[in-house]
Amino acid sequence: VIKCRAAVAWAVGKPLSIEEVEVAPPKAGEVRIKIVATGICRSDDHVLEGYFRNIDFPVILGHEGAGIVESVGEGVTSVKPGDKVIPTPLSQCGECSFCLNPESNYCLKCHFTESQCLLPDKTSRFTCKGKQIHHFMWVSSFSEYTVIPEYAVVKIDAAAPLDKVCLVGCGFSTGYGAAINTAKVKPGSTCAVFGLGGVGLSVVMGCKAAGASRIIAVDINKDKFAKAKELGATECINPQDFKKPIQEVLTEMTGHGVDYSFEVIGHADTMVAALASCNMNTGVCIMVGVPASGSMLSFDPMLVLCGRTWKGTLLGGWKMRESMPKLVSSYLEKKFNLDLLITHRLPIAKANEGFQLLRAGKSIRTVLHF
């Protein structure tokens, strides 16, 4: 058993508490990882706000981490102690019907099928003050050590800086892949991106990499416009500056609507606005933002009857264990710059400060380090 620091969420609506936790050794098929760095993602904040119903407290959050393998359980073959790894919130067991489908990146063992608040054997490796602490998405990267199933761990290049490539674990992969894999943005096309957080800006990067000629960034926080333009946005607009619905504004700006729109917020009204802002016949709208549990959509079916395509994306459509090493290599080859997404770096002891920056709209990505 290893004793280490972790930021524990004891209850909804309460700040994280820095505690000493005990982390049990890995069982068969599991890996214990020393987390070096972890990003703060909006989904972590959603849990603290009570946005999701299927999360059990107390829990150690964090799902965008990178670290070094400390030890492995019986039967683990893909990683060994000392390897640099990224734990992924979307598993790839390699055996289920979805993993065997080349067009799918889902896995039947992932948390959308069953809760990942405990490990697959329905027990936890975390205890604190004599109490069981729950896992989060099998990652729990707000702990200095964590235990994860082997099929949710990805070995990466030993040269990778862990405080940068941790973003590949969720935010960057999700946004960049939404444009590259899910939408399959074509060169010369027009795009609109709703929401300019870390994931939304990664969508902008993906649209630029795909050769889009016009990338319109949409957000009510004008402070994010400079960063959006630095990453590839050609125009930035604030819906609050107009008296008409933003979908009408975008349609007028482009003639018939954009070719591709991306909703990266998770609100029902902006999801419908994003759909309505793309071309009525050949437009493609990608749902990237995560809605609150129980959310319902109400929209005019004519929006899709005319031919629009409305799609969701899960971690950007990547088969994570296959794709993440390649994404890390692409970063090392300077094919994209993750560094521009990182606006703040804080020690784990200041995790709550990182969440305050996120809620205030002052950060893109805060990376916590141990």
What local confidence, expressed as pLDDT, does residue 112 receive? 74
Residue 186: both structure tokens together: 């074509």
Q: C-alpha angle 87/205/273, rounded to 5°?
A: 100
Catalytic residue among 96, 117, 170, 285: 170
63 has catalytic annotation: yes
- Catalytic-residue membership of 41: yes
Q: What does each of the 370 residues of the chain score in pLDDT, given as a tens digit?
A: 999 999 999 999 999 999 999 999 999 999 999 999 999 999 999 999 988 878 899 999 999 999 999 999 999 999 999 999 999 999 999 999 999 999 999 999 886 766 779 999 999 999 999 999 999 999 999 999 999 999 999 999 999 999 999 999 999 999 999 999 999 999 999 999 999 999 999 999 999 999 999 999 999 999 999 999 999 999 999 999 999 999 999 999 999 999 999 999 999 999 999 999 999 999 999 999 988 888 899 999 999 999 999 999 999 999 999 999 999 999 999 999 999 999 999 999 999 999 999 999 999 999 999 9
Q: What is the pLDDT of residue 113?
A: 63
Residue 189: which of 262, 272, 283 has the closest Cα? 283
Average pLDDT over the chain reads 96
Residue of 41, 207, 236, 285 with catalytic role = 41
Of 46, 111, 134, 135, which is the active-site residue?
Answer: 46
Cα distance between residue 254 and residue 122, in whole Å: 52
Residue 21's contacts (CB-CB under 8 Å, 6 or more residues apart) are 3, 4, 5, 6, 8, 60, 126, 127, 128, 133, 143
How far apart, in whole angstroms, are the C-alpha atoms of residue 150 and residue 141? Answer: 15
**Residues facing 34 on adjacent strands:** 68, 145
CA torsion sign, 151 to 157 to 163 to 164? Answer: negative
- Rounded to 5°, the CA angle 295-300-304 comes to 100
Domain ranges within the chain, ordered by starting residue:
2-169+338-369, 174-313
- Alpha-carbon distance 351 to 48, whole Å? 13
For residues 235, 241, 245, 249, the Cα torsion angle rounded to the nearest 10 degrees is: -30
pLDDT digits (tens, 9 = 90+) for 74-91: 999 999 999 999 999 999
CATH number of 174-313: 3.40.50.720
- Other beta carbons less than 10 A from residue 340's beta carbon: 14
Report the greatest alpha carbon distance in the chain.
63
The H or E element containing residue 281 is none
Backbone φ/ψ region at 334: left (φ over 0), alpha (ψ -120 to 50), beta: left
Is the pTM of the predicted complex or chain greater than 0.75?
yes
CA dihedral 61, 65, 71, 72 (to 10 degrees): 80
Q: CB–CB of 87/146 below 8 Å?
A: yes
Catalytic site residue from 43, 140, 143, 173 = 43
Instruction: Please say if 141 is a catalytic residue.
Output: no
- Does 134 participate in catalysis according to the annotation? no
Task: Give the CATH superfamily of 2-169+338-369.
Answer: Medium-chain alcohol dehydrogenases, catalytic domain (3.90.180.10)
Token pair listed for 220? 């009510």
